[in-house]
Structure formats: C-alpha cells, structure tokens
Amino acid sequence: MVETSQVRVCVHVQSSYVRSQSVPDEQRFVFAYTITIRNLGRTPVQLLGRYWLITNGNGRETEVQGEGVVGEQPHIAPGEEFRYTSGAILETPIGTMQGHYQMIDSDGSAFLVDIPVFRLAVTHHIH
C-alpha cells in the first residue's frame, strides 16, 4: 500500500490454477490472477503502467512491463476500486509474481504502488 497525506492505494491479489488451459505433459501451467486496486485516499488516481517480475519454480525470471492493465489506464475515484483478471503461463507447476504500478495523482505527481509477491501454484485434490 502507498500512503501520503492525500494518496492511499491498496492492492489485493487472488490467484488460481486454470486446469482447463494447462497441459502439464508439455510443461504448460496456466494461472489466472484477479487484482483489486482500491483508492482509499482523498483524491483521484490513474494507473498508467505496470511492471511484473515473474519467477518460475526453477528460478527463471521474466520481466513484463507496459502501459495500463488489460488495455486500460483506469481512473479510480476516492472510495472506488478497479478490478481486473489476467493470466500468466509458466513451465513449472509453481512460481511467483511481484511488481508495481506506475500511477499519478490528481496533481499529476507520479508514484509507484508495490504489488507484493504472490504465489502461482497448482492445487492438488485428494480423492
């Protein structure tokens, strides 16, 4: 979470394994993640860009950066939230993601919001 006198942004992540799109025999493990960005501050903010560091179970790192998220650069009013779902494909059944969002406040001042490390993992069912 980032917090100043006017800006307070909180990020929540929930990830899941997408069995229907995965092919474990071909080292293809698909994960979905839903992110909720809440503006708990007093002024509007806008998400301009993102940076991800994706690490698979073998320690191989991939960096991804770009404008916005899912084709949008959302404005988030005070007390509002923006939620989106995206995905990642790994060669291993476990991995992690972490990163940050580049944002601006209503005055045009830029700031970063850290996205803490979260796990991508295949869930095993016991029969």
Separation CA 71–CA 23 (nearest Å)? 27
Please name every residue paired with 113 in a beta bridge, in sequence order, or none if there are none. 101
pLDDT reported for residue 125: 46
pLDDT reported for residue 1: 60
Cβ-Cβ contacts under 8 Å for 91 (sequence gap 6 or more) = 27, 28, 29, 56, 58, 60
* Span 77-108, pLDDT tens digits: 999 999 999 999 999 999 999 999 999 999 99
The tokens describing 11, both together, are 């990020």
Instruction: Say whether pLDDT at 4 is over 80.
Output: no
Instruction: Say whether pLDDT at 126 is over 70.
Output: no
pTM across the whole model: 0.90
The identity of residue 104, as a single letter, is I
Phi, psi of 7 (to 5 degrees): -110, 130
